[in-house]
């Protein structure tokens, strides 16, 4: 019975670790800390969900951090240079992120480049493009100008659950950030896509056995492109949430982010060999990394030790997945 629960081991580890920090880390059990974790890792969880799709298609997307920076700079330029309304700037940023992700997929599916090589190249290319279009470089006086559009401000606010659900007389949790509600909406949409649509089955089949899926008549190239496009789309959404929180964007935004979201996806049970993944796993993986970093910081543990522990957890997750694969074989 319990074996059918997805990510059961991760859920138990996440719960145990949370209880540990609640007991031993000062100020961990505070609303302020809960706010910081939810606001600081909801956007990472969304990007990790995006990373899940290329991995499920037996690939990987190393350009995530650069696409995040590109989206942020598009929003920055549209609002401060072109003076466009906030929602148009947000839509433009997410659209460009989706196109960038789709371009990765085209390089891999149609030009037969290895995912590692293709996305490593676009990692550099997109980052260079960020510097080329940077409004902070074109007009240095904008470097200290915050983004004040209402569309951006609303995404960085904290709202009562009642404002979203109509249950204002029953529930009042003003410390929950809007970004967390966006995460929940994304999770629901992706759950329907993966578990209750033909696309989810086709994606898992393509990642599980590409040649067999092709011989079965599945449009494997389009599926591969769509997986990378979804990665770009979700990275764009995560970037907008991050920019709304920072009220600005920089050329260095998102450097190293690809490693964090890959770790979150893999820790969440997304199989590096492709064909397996679920919506809950990457989210748990992202927040697990969050509570580890926050909890260890509150306990006064060195940042170097934090990085070592994060690496150890990632190795353990990959090793556990390989062990289960060998057992099934």
**Of all residues in the chain, what percent carry a pLDDT higher than 70?**
91
What whole-number distance in Å separates Cα of residue 49 and Cα of residue 264?
Answer: 9
- Residue 2 falls within a domain, yes or no? no
* Domain assignment of residue 76, given as a range: 10-328
**Of all residues in the chain, what percent carry a pLDDT higher than 90?**
68
The helix or strand, by DSSP H or E, that contains position 105, with its residue range, turns out to be helix 86-109
Give the other-Cβ count within 10 Å of 6's Cβ.
14
Asked whether the beta carbons of 306 and 21 are under 8 A apart, the reply is no
- Residue 4 falls within a domain, yes or no? no
Mean pLDDT in residue range 228-238: 98
- Residue 73 falls within a domain, yes or no? yes
- Residue 188 falls within a domain, yes or no? yes
- Residue 277 falls within a domain, yes or no? yes
Mean pLDDT in residue range 296-308: 86
pLDDT(166) > 70: no
The contacts of residue 121 (CB under 8 Å, 6+ apart) are 107
256 burial type by CB count under 10 A (0-12 exposed, 13-18 middle, 19+ buried): exposed
42-53 per-position pLDDT tens digit: 999 999 999 999
Among 54, 117, 48, residue whose Cα is nearest residue 257 = 48
- Residue 5 falls within a domain, yes or no? no
- Residue 102 falls within a domain, yes or no? yes
pTM of the model as a whole: 0.92
- Residue 84 falls within a domain, yes or no? yes
How many domains does the chain contain in total?
1
Per mean pLDDT, which of 106-115, 132-141, 157-166, 272-281 is the most reliable?
106-115
What whole-number distance in Å separates Cα of residue 306 and Cα of residue 300?
Answer: 10
């Amino acid at each position: 019975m319990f074996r059918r629960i997805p990510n059961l081991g991760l859920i138990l580890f996440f719960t145990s670790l949370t209880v540990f920090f609640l007991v031993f880390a000062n100020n961990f059990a505070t609303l302020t800390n809960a706010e910081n974790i939810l606001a600081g890792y909801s956007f990472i969880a969304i990007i990790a969900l995006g990373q899940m799709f290329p991995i499920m298609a037996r690939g990987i997307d190393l350009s995530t951090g650069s696409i995040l920076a590109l989206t942020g700079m598009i929003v920055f330029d549209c609002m401060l240079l072109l003076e466009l309304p906030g929602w148009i700037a947000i839509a433009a940023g997410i659209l460009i992120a989706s196109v960038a992700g789709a371009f990765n997929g085209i390089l891999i599916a149609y030009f037969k480049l290895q995912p590692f090589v293709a996305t490593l190249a676009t990692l550099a290319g997109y980052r260079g493009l960020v510097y080329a279009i940077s409004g902070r470089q074109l007009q240095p006086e904008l470097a200290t100008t915050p983004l004040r559009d209402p569309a951006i401000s609303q995404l960085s606010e904290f709202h009562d659950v009642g404002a979203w659900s109509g249950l204002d007389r029953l529930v009042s949790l003003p410390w929950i950030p809007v970004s967390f509600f966006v995460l929940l909406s994304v999770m629901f949409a992706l759950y329907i896509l993966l578990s209750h649509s033909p696309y989810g089955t086709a994606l898992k089949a393509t990642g599980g056995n590409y040649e067999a899926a092709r011989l079965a008549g599945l449009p494997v190239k389009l599926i591969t492109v769509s997986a990378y496009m979804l990665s770009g789309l979700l990275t764009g959404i995560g970037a907008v949430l991050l920019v709304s929180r920072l009220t600005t964007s920089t050329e260095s935004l998102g450097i190293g982010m690809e490693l964090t979201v890959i770790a979150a996806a893999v820790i969440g049970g997304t199989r590096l060999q492709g064909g397996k993944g679920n919506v809950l796993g990457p989210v748990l993986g992202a927040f697990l990394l969050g509570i580890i970093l926050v909890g260890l910081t509150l306990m006064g543990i060195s940042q170097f030790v934090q990085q070592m522990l994060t690496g150890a957890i990632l190795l353990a997750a990959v090793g556990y997945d390989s062990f289960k694969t060998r057992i099934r074989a």
